[in-house]
C-alpha cells in the first residue's frame, strides 16, 4: 500500500457540503480540485478561496499549527503564504478540522517551464524569503514542535536517504554517482543540529510557486516548526544551477558547511521520494523535475564541493 494513500477521500460532493454548510457567505459557484498531496486534498472555490482538507490522520495536528502561526507570520515575509480566513470543523461524516485561505497565484516549479536562467532568477528572492522567515520572532513560537520529522538529524536521515536512493536506482530513475556514499558517510558523522529558528519544515520542489518567472508564494506549511536552518535550505541544492547557488546563499546571509551538508542530504532524500511518488502516480513533469534535482544535488559528490562550499 503506498504510504501516501488517503485515509479519507474528500471528493467534490463532500467538499461542497462541508464548505457550503459551514460558510454560507461563500457563493460556491465553482469548485475545482487544485491538487492532492500526501496529506491533504485541496479544493479551489470560486477561483478565490483555497480549502485544505486533511486526507490522513497524521496531518490533523498541522491544521491547528497553521491557524495559530500563518496569519501572524504572513506580514513579516516578502513572499505570499496562505493566510487562513475560514476555520472548518468536523461534520457530515468528515472527522477532522480544515481551513480555507485566499488563493495565491503561481505554478509548481515542475510546471513552470523554467530554463537555467529562469531558475537562477529565483535564487535571490528565495534567499531573502528564508532569511526573513528564520529571523522572524513570534510570541508563542516556542510551543511549536522541534524538528518533529528529524530532518536535520543525520544519524536517522542518512540511512533513510540510502533506502530512497536504492528505490530510485531499482526503478531505473537515477543512478547515484561515485562518491555519494562518502558524502553520506560524512553527513552521518555530524554532531546533533543546534539551530532553533522558525522553519517551514518541508520546503521541497512542490511548495515553491512561481508566477511570471519569479517566486510568488510558499505553500503547504503543515510541518511548520522550530528547527535547524538546514531543513529549509535544500532547494539551494536541487533547484538552482551551481552558478546561482552562491547568489542564493549571499541573499540568505550565511550558512555553515555543516548546515549545507545537512541540506544536501535532505535534498537527495526528498527528490528521491518525489521521484518514486511521481512515477507511481504518473506525474511525468514532477518525475523529471525530481530526477533533475537529484542530478544537481548528487553532482560532483566526490569533488571539493562535497561539504557544500559556498563558493561553488
- Burial of 154 (C-beta count, 10 Å sphere; 0-12/13-18/19+): buried
Q: How far is CA 38 from the centre of its chain?
A: 12
18's CB contacts (< 8 A; 6+ apart) are 10, 53, 88, 91, 92, 94, 98
In tens digits, the chain (312 residues) has pLDDT values of: 567 788 999 999 999 999 999 999 999 999 999 988 889 999 999 999 999 999 999 999 999 999 999 999 999 999 999 999 999 999 999 999 999 999 999 999 999 999 999 999 999 999 999 999 999 999 989 999 999 999 999 999 999 999 999 999 999 999 999 899 999 999 999 999 988 999 999 999 999 999 999 999 999 999 999 999 999 999 999 999 999 999 999 999 989 999 999 999 999 999 999 999 999 999 999 999 999 999 999 986 654 454 444 433
- Nine cell digits for residue 127: 534567499
Q: What CATH fold (topology level) applies to the domain 107-298?
A: Aminoglycoside 3'-phosphotransferase; Chain: A, domain 2 (3.90.1200)
Which residue, chain included where needed, has cell 495536528?
61
Place of cell 499549527: 65
DSSP conformational letter for 80: B
DSSP state letter for 280? H
CA gap 298, 306 in Å, rounded = 9
Instruction: Map residue 44 onto helix, strand or coil.
Output: strand
Domain positions in the chain are 12-102, 107-298
What distance in Å separates the CA atoms of residue 78 and residue 80, rounded to the nearest whole number? 7
Candidates 3.30.530.20, 3.30.200.20, 3.30.70.100, 3.40.50.300; CATH matching 12-102: 3.30.200.20
Taking alpha carbons only, the member of 116, 168, 142 closest to residue 280 is 168
How long is the chain?
312
CA angle 67, 69, 75 (to 5 degrees): 115
DSSP 91: B
User: pLDDT tens digit string along 97-122?
Assistant: 999 999 999 999 999 999 999 999 99
Look up residue 22 and give its three cell numbers. Answer: 459551514
Q: Answer yes or no: are the C-beta atoms of 232 and 200 closer than 8 Å.
A: yes
What's the predicted TM-score (pTM) here? 0.92
Amino acid at each position: 500500500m503506498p504510504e501516501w494513500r488517503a485515509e479519507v477521500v474528500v471528493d467534490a460532493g463532500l467538499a461542497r457540503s462541508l464548505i457550503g454548510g459551514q460558510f454560507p457567505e461563500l457563493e460556491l459557484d465553482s469548485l475545482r480540485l487544485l491538487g492532492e498531496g500526501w496529506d491533504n486534498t485541496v479544493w479551489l472555490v470560486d477561483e478565490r478561496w483555497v480549502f485544505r482538507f486533511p486526507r490522513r490522520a497524521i496531518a490533523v495536528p498541522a491544521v491547528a499549527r497553521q491557524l495559530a502561526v500563518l496569519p501572524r507570520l504572513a506580514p513579516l515575509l516578502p513572499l505570499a503564504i496562505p493566510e487562513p480566513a475560514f476555520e472548518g470543523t468536523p461534520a457530515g461524516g468528515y472527522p477532522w478540522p480544515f481551513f480555507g485561505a485566499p488563493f495565491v497565484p503561481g505554478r509548481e516549479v515542475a510546471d513552470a517551464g523554467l530554463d537555467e536562467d529562469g531558475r537562477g532568477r529565483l535564487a535571490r528572492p528565495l534567499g531573502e524569503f528564508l532569511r526573513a522567515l528564520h529571523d522572524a520572532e513570534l510570541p508563542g513560537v516556542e510551543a511549536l514542535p522541534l524538528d518533529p520529522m528529524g530532518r536535520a538529524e543525520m544519524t536517522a536521515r542518512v540511512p533513510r536517504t540510502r533506502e530512497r536512493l536504492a528505490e530510485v536506482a531499482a526503478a531505473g530513475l537515477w543512478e547515484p554517482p561515485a562518491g555519494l556514499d562518502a558524502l553520506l558517510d560524512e553527513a552521518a558523522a555530524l554532531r546533533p543540529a543546534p539551530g532553533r529558528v522558525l522553519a517551514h519544515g518541508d520546503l521541497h520542489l512542490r511548495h515553491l510557486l512561481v508566477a511570471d518567472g519569479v517566486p510568488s508564494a510558499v505553500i503547504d506549511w503543515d510541518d511548520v516548526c522550530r528547527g535547524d536552518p538546514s531543513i529549509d535550505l535544500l532547494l539551494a541544492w536541487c533547484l538552482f544551477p551551481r552558478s546561482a547557488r552562491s547568489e542564493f546563499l549571499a541573499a540568505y546571509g550565511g550558512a555553515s558547511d555543516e548546515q549545507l551538508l545537512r541540506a544536501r542530504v535532505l535534498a537527495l532524500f526528498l527528490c528521491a521520494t518525489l521521484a518514486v511518488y511521481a512515477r507511481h502516480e504518473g506525474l511525468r513533469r514532477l518525475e523529471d523535475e525530481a530526477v533533475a534535482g537529484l542530478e544537481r544535488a548528487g553532482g560532483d559528490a566526490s569533488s571539493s564541493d562535497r561539504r557544500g562550499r559556498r563558493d561553488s
